Amino acid sequence: MAILGFFGIQTASFAALRGNFAAGVFLQVFRPFSVGDFITAGGVTGTVEDIGIFVTSFMAPDNVRHIVPNAKLVGDAIQNDSVHAFRRPRSYTHTSTHWQVYFDTNRMIVDVLGANGFPVPRIPVAMATPSANEPQAS
């Protein structure tokens, strides 16, 4: 490398190419994502179109193509949204109101289904009867 530098050939670009090449080999061997996966990596979110030895190309949801060096992908966290067939919905309900939202939602489902003729199971609720020793409310 020093000899190439002596003759005026820039060696810093060779080091960058080596890093991208090593990262490309890593991506080909370990396959953290495949072509067609929707991922977020290297600061880019999109569908993977091509995984090359030096760069990977993405198509963003707004139809913008991003070409990212493989070293940047390997050096960053990779979020692959296409690994599982479905995703678990996130609950954005505050914990103090979770049960109220749960019961209100279930009541609404029962009311709508019952109003449209669908059979809905009724959940039995046991009511405590006052015993003879307890004072009665007037």
Chunked in runs of 10, what are the mean pLDDT values of the chain (138 residues)?
54 60 74 90 92 89 92 86 77 70 85 86 64 59
Sort strands 38-41 and 44-51 into parallel, antiparallel or unpaired: antiparallel
pLDDT of residue 7: 54
Among 61, 65, 55, residue whose Cα is nearest residue 16? 55
pLDDT of residue 129: 65
* CA distance between the termini of the chain: 98
Region 2-80: CATH code: 2.30.30.60
Kindly give the residue spans of alpha helices, DSSP state H, lying in 12-95: 12-30, 70-74
**86 SS3 class:** coil
pLDDT of residue 47: 95
pLDDT of residue 105: 85
pLDDT of residue 78: 87
Task: Report the C-alpha gap between 10 and 105 in whole angstroms.
Answer: 66
Domain range list for the chain: 2-80, 89-119
Q: What angle do CA 129, 131, 134 make, to 5 degrees?
A: 115
